[in-house]
């Protein structure tokens, strides 16, 4: 159905374009290099026969596959993002292709002794006999979410080439800056014109998600006083030591590496400083809105307690909400999840319906009026050197897109 080499070549073409986003740049998109892939995609969409291909001033790409039905059905959409995470470099990606994987260790980088091992990443075992694309150990891979982009383009091309497969009007969109939380900020839902959509931005094969974290970012600024250490008694205030107090006051077991399922966390992802000033940057996550609020309150309360201890305002806490749990918006239209689940079962894929321990453009889009569950794109170990994607999972995800498109035409006949 879908040629393995063809989809592999398309994926590698996309990942070798550096599109890392920048959380510290308020511009939109946050990096100019995202335009490079956007322009490639525009030309490719035109070449395969998509209509109304548009790249707007904010780097959103939208396009249409017209209906081939003689009756009306809802317009649906598929969404993926073009940027890669700033957590780990996406520059100069050198993918490696492992054919007929046999469950052994994969040497990513012999010189640096970087190994992708099923002893540590046990999900690898389920892909024995398949073709796996990995990094060379020095970059991330970019399957988050260029696997999703690959799957959407490939599915649209397949539907164009096979008009015997009936479908209604389909809209697609590729967004910038998802990895820095801005992917849906300037998304024009009215212009997109779909009744609902699916983000192709999940991980392992079978994932189907309509719950996600409530999310916020926190910046903790600690101000100290620098004095010559030989004369510092009673005068120096070392901001780095106070920062350590703040870190230790948060629940030590409520971090990403110690939580799972519906458990929330505080994640310290960046820290820098000196005696005079230190900055801690956290992300706050919880599926439960009430618990999410309590997490934010705790961060303020710890700062208040430390300020009282030092009898001065040494700590300032700034918290900004990022997105909310889309379950609230999806539950009233659960048929859109049911359709995707039916297609997974039709393709003999075991549905893994669970809450996302993260977020997608779909969470923000759902609150903007476009209900948008999340479907697997196939990759594992996102945002780091051990990222990989089985080609067979990308093929299956492409088939899911095709299947949903056809299923909608049948359900609403």
Q: Rg of the chain's alpha carbons, rounded to an integer? A: 23
Alpha-carbon distance 75 to 78, whole Å? 11
Task: Tell the residue number behind the tokens 């809450």, with chain if given.
Answer: 355
Could you confirm whether 178 is annotated as catalytic?
Answer: yes
- H-run or E-run covering 77: strand 76-81
Alpha-carbon distance 179 to 81, whole Å? 8
Could you confirm whether 119 is annotated as catalytic?
Answer: no
CA atoms within 13 A on the CB side of 321: 12
Long-range contacts of 292-297, Cβ-Cβ distance < 8 Å, separation of 24 or more: 292/214, 292/216, 292/264, 295/264, 295/266, 296/216, 296/218
Per-position b or e across 51-67, b if 16+ CB within 10 A of its CB: eebebeeebbbbbbbeb
CB 393 within 8 A of CB 378: yes
DSSP string, 235-249: T-B-HHHHHHHHHHH
Please report, for residues 126, 183, 210, 331, 372, the alpha-carbon distance to residue 328 in angstroms, rounded to integers and kept in the order given.
33, 20, 9, 6, 12
Report the 10 Å Cβ neighbour count for 83: 30
CA atoms within 13 A on the CB side of 66: 5
* Exposed/middle/buried for residue 84 (C-beta within 10 Å: 0-12, 13-18, 19+): buried
Active-site residue, from 18, 178, 207, 211: 178
CB 349 within 8 A of CB 359: no
Active-site residue, from 18, 22, 83, 151: 83
Residues annotated as catalytic are: 83, 178
């Amino acid at each position: 159905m879908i040629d393995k080499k063809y989809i592999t070549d398309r994926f590698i073409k996309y990942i070798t374009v550096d599109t890392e986003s920048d959380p510290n740049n308020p511009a939109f998109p946050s990096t100019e290099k995202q335009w490079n892939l956007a322009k490639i995609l525009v030309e490719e969409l035109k070449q395969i026969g998509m209509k109304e291909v548009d790249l707007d001033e904010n780097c959103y790409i939208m396009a249409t596959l017209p209906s081939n039905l003689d009756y009306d059905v809802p317009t649906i959409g598929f969404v993926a993002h073009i940027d890669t995470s700033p957590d780990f470099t996406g520059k100069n990606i050198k993918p490696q292709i492992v054919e007929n994987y046999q469950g052994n260790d994969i040497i990513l980088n012999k010189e640096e002794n970087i190994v992708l091992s099923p002893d540590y990443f046990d999900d690898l075992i389920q892909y024995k006999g398949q073709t796996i694309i990995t990094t060379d150990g020095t970059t991330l891979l970019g399957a988050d979410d260029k696997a999703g982009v690959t799957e959407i383009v490939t599915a649209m091309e397949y539907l164009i080439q096979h008009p015997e497969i009936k479908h209604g009007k389909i809209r697609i969109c590729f967004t910038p800056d998802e990895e820095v939380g801005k992917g849906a900020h300037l998304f024009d839902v009215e212009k997109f014109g779909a009744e609902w959509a699916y983000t192709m931005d999940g991980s392992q094969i079978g994932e189907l998600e309509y719950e996600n974290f409530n999310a916020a970012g926190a910046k903790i600024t600690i101000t100290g006083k620098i004095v010559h250490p030989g004369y510092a008694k009673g005068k120096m205030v070392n901001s780095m030591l106070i920062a350590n107090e703040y870190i230790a006051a948060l629940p030590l077991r409520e971090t990403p590496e110690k939580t799972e399922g519906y458990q929330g966390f505080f994640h310290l992802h960046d820290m820098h400083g000196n005696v005079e000033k230190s900055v801690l940057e956290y992300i706050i996550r919880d599926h439960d809105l009430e618990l999410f609020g309590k997490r934010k309150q705790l961060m303020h309360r710890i700062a208040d307690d430390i300020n009282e201890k030092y009898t001065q305002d040494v700590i300032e806490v700034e918290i900004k909400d990022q997105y909310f749990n889309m379950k609230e918006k999806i539950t009233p239209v659960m048929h859109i999840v049911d359709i995707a689940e039916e297609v997974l079962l039709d393709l003999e894929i075991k549905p893994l319906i669970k809450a996302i321990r993260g977020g997608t453009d779909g969470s923000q889009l759902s609150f903007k009026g476009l209900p948008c569950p999340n479907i697997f794109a196939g990759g594992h170990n996102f945002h780091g050197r051990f990222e990989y994607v089985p080609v067979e999972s990308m093929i299956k995800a492409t088939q899911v897109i095709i299947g949903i498109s056809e299923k909608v035409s049948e359900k609403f006949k």
